[in-house]
Amino acid sequence: MELEVLQPKQEGRADSFWYDGVIARLGEFTLIAVGDIRIVMYEADGSTRIYRDGQAVDEARGRGYVDADLYSIERVAEWYNNNWFEVIHPKDGGETLNDVEWDYDAGIAVLKDTFQSVCPKCLESFRVHNDDGSCVKD
């Protein structure tokens, strides 16, 4: 099974802030980026402006920002990034199957690990399968 990447990693932008929706698929498992974002950025005149979710990402990208700029107090007054990567499976109703990640490469690694260690049939670890390897739900 081959990894299908729908949103390639952007140079200098590994933080989940830059991504939204489906990132990659492996078998029946999907890596998504979800959450809420709010950034208060300094404008040229010294005032501040609030940007939310996709608008915040578009504004930061338009200014040429990369990960390091998101933490720069010279450019950003406040940064509320409650966005993350998680692996889901359609059988589970979109519930997160494991820990969330905030880094693109870590999210891809969790997707690969989930594909190798979780049965897509029962969504349990392969460790709980029958001795012959068959699914416990069969």
Please say if the pLDDT value at position 127 is more than 70.
no
Q: Is 118 helix (H, G, I), strand (E, B) or coil?
A: strand
DSSP character string of 33-88: EEEEEEEEEE-TTS-EEEEEHHHHHHHHHHTT--HHHHT-TTTEEEEEEEEEEEEE
Please say if the pLDDT value at position 128 is more than 70.
no
Residue 28 CA to residue 69 CA, distance in Å, equals: 35
pLDDT digits (tens, 9 = 90+) for 5-14: 999 999 999 9
pLDDT digits (tens, 9 = 90+) for 16-29: 999 999 999 998 89
Average pLDDT value for residue range 72-93: 79
More confident residue, 75 or 59: 59
What is the pTM (predicted TM-score) of this model?
0.83
Nearest to 56 by CA among 80, 74, 72, 84: 80
For the chain, give the mean pLDDT. Answer: 86
The reported pLDDT for the residue numbered 86 is 94
The answer to whether 23 touches 13, Cβ cutoff 8 Å, is no
The reported pLDDT for the residue numbered 98 is 77
The reported pLDDT for the residue numbered 73 is 58
